[in-house]
């Protein structure tokens, strides 16, 4: 089973590829989300795909974590959300 991090990364890669950007793009941990090359609608698609794959949408619920600004924060945003969801089951 793939980890949350892998799922987030591959989803980002897919959406980038669908825009014609090279899939080999390196998603640096510290890259600001603003520099990844996705517009707000692309991010919306990323979030929808991740909800389908991980069963959570951390943007739709209150969270103690700040809204992410970098790739690393984005990944951990999902990791926390999945962990929370699992602990509540």
Partner 1 sequence: MLFDIATKHQRASQEAECVICRGERWSYGKVHTWAKALSAFLQDRGVTRVAFYIANSPKLIALLLAADRIGLEAVLLHREFPLDEVHRYLFDLDIETCLTDANVDEGPRLVAVPEYETLVSNPLWPETFEYAQSSSKVLLLTTGTTGRPKTVVHSWASLAGPIRREESYRDSRWLLAYDLTRFAGIQVFLQAFVNGGVICIPAGRTVGEVIDTMLRERISHVSATPTFWWRLLFESSRKLRQALPLVQLTLGGEAAPQTLLDALRSNFPQARITHTYASTEAGFCFASSDGIEGYSLEVLENNLRRVRIRIVNGELWISSPYAMQGYFGSSLHQEEWTATGDLVEVKKGRLIILGRAGDCINVGGNKVFPTQVEGEIRRVAGVRDVRAYGQRSSLVGQVVKAEVVPENGVDTAKLKEEILHYCRQRLQPYQVPRIIEFVEHIPISDGGKVVRRD
Residue 47 interacting with partner 1 (CB under 8 A): yes
Minimum separation from the CB atom of position 16 to partner 1 (A): 13
Check residue 73 for interaction with partner 1 (CB under 8 A): no
Applying CB under 8 A, among 22, 24, 41, 62 the residue interacting with partner 1 is: 41
C-beta of 46: minimal distance to partner 1 in Å? 9
Backbone angles phi, psi at 31, to 5 degrees: -60, 130
In angstroms, the first-to-last Cα distance of the chain is 19
Q: Does residue 83 touch partner 1 according to CB under 8 A?
A: no
CA 3 to chain centre: 12
List 13, 31, 42, 73, residue binding partner 1 (CB under 8 A) = 42
* Residues 6 or more apart whose Cβ sits within 8 Å of residue 9: 27, 75
Strand partners, 70: 32
| 8-state DSSP, 33 | G
Interface positions with partner 1 (CB under 8 A): 18, 39-45, 47-48, 57, 59-60
């Amino acid at each position: 089973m793939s980890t949350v991090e892998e799922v987030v990364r591959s989803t980002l890669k897919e959406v980038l590829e669908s825009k014609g950007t090279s899939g080999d793009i390196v998603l640096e941990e510290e890259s600001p989300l603003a520099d990844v090359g996705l517009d707000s609608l692309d991010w919306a698609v990323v979030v929808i795909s991740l909800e389908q794959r991980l069963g959570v949408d951390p943007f739709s619920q209150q969270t103690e974590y700040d809204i992410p600004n970098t790739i690393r924060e984005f990944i951990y945003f999902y990791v926390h959300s999945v962990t929370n969801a699992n602990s509540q089951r």
